Structure 1
Amino acid sequence: MFQDTLQLMPLWAFAAAFGVTLVAGFVKGAIGFAMPLVMISGLSLFLDPLVAVAGIVLPIVMSNILQVMRFPLAEAVAALREFWRYILVVCVMIVIVAQFITVIPTQTFYLVLGVPVVILSLVQLIGVRFHIAPRWRRPSEWGVGFVSGAIGGLTGTWGPPTVLYLIALDTPKAKQMLVQGVVYGLGSVSLLAGHLQSGVLNAVTIPWSAALLVPAFLGMQVGFWMSDRMNPVMFRRATLVVLVIAGANLVRRGLIG
């Protein structure tokens, strides 16, 4: 069975995947999100999309547990109570949409991966800000949650819509980091359950995903250390530029193969 896992890809691809995951862990630790985006954008450049999605699942679960554990339990519970509607619809949509991942044509899958990466990264990069008035908060929870969960079920990443949503609510930075951890943490459990059901995670791909826990953990520790020693605005902009380039390449592959 382990032999089958080793046959998923050549040795150089395993090494490259470790490097991509190390960078993704660093980004996650430094700015609190974008780990799935970095991983899926990077891994999909040289791996089958379904193998890439399988690889990101366990690192996503672990990284979000680590992020939430940096805050007191009472604050995490308060965030869960405040955002329970958004979290609920995200989790439900992830489980439902994940079941369709194995029937999507490869080129369509690349477009589904690439277009949200490019659009959402560009929106943040150019500094577009949205504001959600209090009377529109409940409808926006369901609407944005629906979109985030659908994207998450297909691509393994629902961070950018969540970040934009929290920014539109004028959420303070510290609280935003906490809410992201809670949303991503519970969503990642749904992603795990969804892909166990879809078959993307199986006896062959689970060891592959588990192997990526090591570089993800190491990258996060460095990211946590660096987060207080660097300009987060400039680093976030550089990260978004990389995501735009990677996402554009995915779109290219989806359009012309």
Structure 2
Amino acid sequence: MHTFIGLYQDIGPALSLLVLVTFLLAGAVKGVIGLGLPTIAMGLLGLGLPPAQAAALLIVPSTVTNVWQLSTGGHLRPLLRRLSGLLSMIFVGTCLGSLWLGIDSGPWAVHGLGAALVVYALYGLIGPQLRVTPRHERWLGPLCGLTTGVVTAATGVFVMPAVPYLQSLGLNRDELVQALGLSFTVSTLALAVGLAGQDALGGQALGASLLMLAPALLGMIAGQWLRQRISPVLFKRCFFIGLAVLGAHLLFNG
């Protein structure tokens, strides 16, 4: 409670409400389609908070929900072997990107976040279904991991290009959901290391992030319930359109 009061005093009632609603919504989106918590959270929080502060709030909810996601499915060991290049370079790229760029590197980072959201949304709406052959995974996985890490360090969003890459591997539904959880967990932990190196992840920031776990989990449970009652195709379409609008706002007005 003391941490929430401190957060409330620091950012005011309007932004405090934005933070709570954001994590409810982001958790619900993740519950429905298996991803979107960091993307939604960074996009909406970027409307009122500096990128480093927004990313710090993301650490605990993202880590817990992603560990929950990767722990189910029964494919963890083979996925770890297959995705080792991607995962290791995500970590390396995020840490190096934090030293080189830093998530609080200036106004351009907000515009970069907007661009990443627009690209991802357009890919989700109209992008072709790509297929990566096994012989290309050895070099393409690490390359996508390194690029994802740099984008994560600069914007706090770790979907591009890791998500399109994972979707191109021909994984079944359970494998894909578990692979996404695995990739996002590594990205979140690497982001935490990068933020700590920038002195942006102290005890107060972690306490505030811990408080966001409750609305994120509540939203995720609601999203899982909703997933059984609506068309995933329709929901994804609405999700990507909303994401494109939000990204365009940050790109041009951030």
TM > 0.5: yes
The letter of the residue matching 2:105 is I
- 1:174 alignment partner in structure 2: 174
- 1:125 alignment partner in structure 2: 125
- 2:9 alignment partner in structure 1: 7
CA contact (8 A) 1:34 1:160 kept: no
1:148-187 equivalences under 5 Å are 148-187=148-187
**Residue 17, structure 1, aligned to residue 19, structure 2:** yes
Give the gaps of 5 or more residues in structure 2.
none
The letter of the residue matching 1:29 is G
Give the drift of 1:102. 5.4
Give the drift of 1:44. 0.7
1:23-172 equivalences under 5 Å are 23-72=25-74, 75-99=75-99, 100-101=101-102, 104-105=105-106, 107-172=107-172
- CA gap 1:198/1:184 in 2 versus in 1, 3 angstroms: same
- CA gap 1:9/1:103 in 2 versus in 1, 3 angstroms: closer
The letter of the residue matching 1:62 is V
CA contact (8 A) 1:64 1:182 kept: yes
1:205-216 equivalences under 5 Å are 205-216=205-216
CA contact (8 A) 1:121 1:160 kept: no
Inter-partner Cα distance in structure 1 for 2:8 and 2:124:
38
SS at 1:140 equivalent: helix
Inter-partner Cα distance in structure 2 for 1:135 and 1:203:
45
Give the drift of 1:212. 1.0
Give the drift of 1:153. 1.8
CA contact (8 A) 2:73 2:175 kept: no
- 1:233 alignment partner in structure 2: 233
CA contact (8 A) 1:58 1:192 kept: no
Give the drift of 1:171. 2.0
Inter-partner Cα distance in structure 1 for 2:157 and 2:251:
16
Give the drift of 1:42. 0.5
User: TM-score, normalising length from structure 1?
Assistant: 0.91
Inter-partner Cα distance in structure 2 for 1:103 and 1:26:
27
SS at 2:161 equivalent: helix
- 1:188 alignment partner in structure 2: 188
The letter of the residue matching 1:248 is A
After TM superposition, the structure 1 stretch with the greater mean CA deviation from structure 2, 34-43 or 127-136, is 127-136
Inter-partner Cα distance in structure 1 for 2:41 and 2:104:
22
The letter of the residue matching 2:224 is F
Give the drift of 1:238. 0.8
- 1:243 alignment partner in structure 2: 243
- How many residue pairs get matched? 251
The letter of the residue matching 1:188 is T
Inter-partner Cα distance in structure 2 for 1:49 and 1:14:
16
Inter-partner Cα distance in structure 2 for 1:36 and 1:231:
23
| Aligned alpha-carbon RMSD (Å) | 1.8
- CA gap 1:147/1:131 in 2 versus in 1, 3 angstroms: same
CA contact (8 A) 2:29 2:220 kept: yes
After TM superposition, the structure 1 stretch with the greater mean CA deviation from structure 2, 114-123 or 185-194, is 185-194
Inter-partner Cα distance in structure 1 for 2:67 and 2:216:
12
- CA gap 1:71/1:167 in 2 versus in 1, 3 angstroms: closer
Percent pairwise identity:
25
- CA gap 1:173/1:36 in 2 versus in 1, 3 angstroms: same
Inter-partner Cα distance in structure 2 for 1:208 and 1:252:
30
The letter of the residue matching 2:247 is G
